[in-house]
Structure 1
Amino acid sequence: MSSTRTGVDAVAAAEAAFARGEPVLIHDAADREGEVDIVYPAAAVDPEAVRRLRDDAGGLICVAIDDAVADAWDLPFLSDALDHPAAEAAHLDYDDRSSFSLPVNHRETFTGITDDDRALTIRELGAAADAADAGQFGADAFAETFRSPGHVTLLRGAPDLLADRQGHTELGLALAAAAGREPAVVVCEMVDGETGAARTPADARAYAEREGLVYVEGRDLLTRLG
């Protein structure tokens, strides 16, 4: 599958790939973070996917969940939950606030950091989010299934997604909704292995081409799905 599609074709290709459980590369915007994330439907993640995220992306492996699911699980924004001066008056150059919520492990993991452990946590978060979306998995079930702190960081999507915020959290969740997937996606920033800086969109496109993955610009997702 070519990564060189643009506009509507790129969005359609991304939707189809996501519906099949395949990862998609999303660039948010040059005037925002200016980063490319590898994004997966959470329920499709296996240990090999975690390896790809760890080795080929290199950023923080997070699971973004829909705002309604976060409410069902009674999950706070991490900045609101922390009683420490470092959490006060946080300032971000690229946004109004962080989407970070609790870091968790599935209760059947050991340390939680191995590829197998993180894949289990992520996959079960995807299944739980799907159940929560149907009103069948609330806060008590979440606490019985997951523990915090852990090694998979949760992100809360904005209530109206792209109408409220245009980060990778919302871009990935909007893509999941369009593809008919569960309201939970894995996002992980691509970091250049040599420079340690964010991988450029050109380099990310080249990676997508080599790997047969779809690359899509955030502005195209906004135009089609916003």
Structure 2
Amino acid sequence: MTESNKEEVIKFSPIEEAIYDLMLGKIIIVVDDEDRENEGDLIALADKATPEVINFMIREARGLVCTPITEERARELNLRPMVEKNTDFHGTAFTVSVDHASTTTGISAHERSRTIKALIDPEAQANDFRRPGHVFPLIAKKGGVLRRAGHTEAAVDLARMCGSSPAAVICEIIKEDGSMARVPDLVKFSLKHNLKLITIKDLIRYRNEKENLIKREVEIKLPTDAGIFKAIAYTNE
């Protein structure tokens, strides 16, 4: 079956509907391409990451719960890369794991929720966190899915589209037998739990259609023998 035929059979949700559900505090499923990880992640906004949301991810998705954040936020909290040389196949940018200082073991859904909320608290400082811990921040590349078509970037892009803190909570979906859930499994999962299902490919298309990615950066006037020459520089995100 070709990719186009698959898209005809499997109906993914519109990006707008996924954004709306995220804003309501709901969880969605995001799928990447078959030639990449070919996996689905649960995604929720970091500022909506209640203990109930975390517990659902742990219980139903079974993967590693991570918190995508921006490069700027990682610098503010002195969250350094987990390793000096990243040899992950897709360059997933893990930082050192953390627990908020107010937690005990840090592993419960309630305490992970508290740590995640602290990561987006503008008043939080680097020394408010213990290292290592049970929450795994991931650094999203600037430019989002237009730079790297990963779940980390998709999560932060979606958070921005919702007008929320540019951070999220994600968790890979694993089947009961321990194998990774693929698109047919993810469709069943989405129907069982009434969750919107979108693709990173559609998110890239949505951003390209909706956003003005060309920005005027600087203008310079230069005197020449023929008169004033105006040079304008633009950047393309």
Question: TM-score w.r.t. structure 1 length?
Answer: 0.82
* Equivalence map 1:85-164=2 (5 Å): 88=85, 90-93=86-89, 95=90, 97-126=91-120, 128=121, 131=122, 137=123, 141-164=124-147
- The CA distance in 1 between the partners of 2:168 and 2:186, in whole Å, is 19
| Structure 2 counterpart of 1:222 | 204
DSSP 3-state at the match of 1:174: helix
SS at match of 1:79: coil
For residue 208 of structure 1, the aligned residue among 177, 180, 190 is 190
SS state at 1:122 partner? helix
Alignment of 1:3-42 (within 5 A): 6=12, 10-42=14-46
Determine the C-alpha separation between the residues in 2 that align with 1:220 and 1:75: 31
Identity of aligned residues (%): 28
- Deviation, 1:219, is 0.6
Structure 1 runs not aligned, ≥5 long: 81-87, 132-136
In the TM superposition, residue 203 of structure 1 has moved relative to its aligned partner by 1.4
Residues in 1 aligned to 2:180 and 2:119: alpha-carbon distance in whole angstroms: 27
Larger strand share, 1 or 2: 2
- Runs of 4+ in structure 1 off by over 6 angstroms are none
AA in 1 matched with 2:190: A
Deviation at 1:213, TM superposition (A): 1.3
Structure 1 residue 174 corresponds to structure 2 residue 157: yes
Aligned residues of 2:146 and 2:204 also touching (Cα < 8 A): no
Give the deviation of 1:114 after TM superposition. Answer: 1.1
SS of the equivalent of 1:61 reads strand
3-state DSSP of counterpart to 1:193: coil
1:5 Cα shift? 5.1
CA deviation profile, 1:76-121 (whole Å, cap 9, x unmatched): 22222xxxxxxx4x5333x2x2310120001111000012111211
The structural deviation recorded for 1:28 is: 1.2
Superposed CA deviations along residues 172-204 of structure 1, whole A, max 9, x for unmatched, are 11111111111110010000111x111111111
Of Structure 1 and Structure 2, the greater helix share is in 1
Change (3 A) 1:177 1:20: same
Aligned residue pair count: 199
Q: Which has the higher contact order (CA 8 A, sep 6+)?
A: 1
CA contact (8 A) 2:100 2:115 kept: yes
Please say which of residues 103-112 and 200-209 is displaced more in the overlay: 200-209
Shift of 1:123: 2.3
Q: Provide TM-score, normalisation by structure 2.
A: 0.79
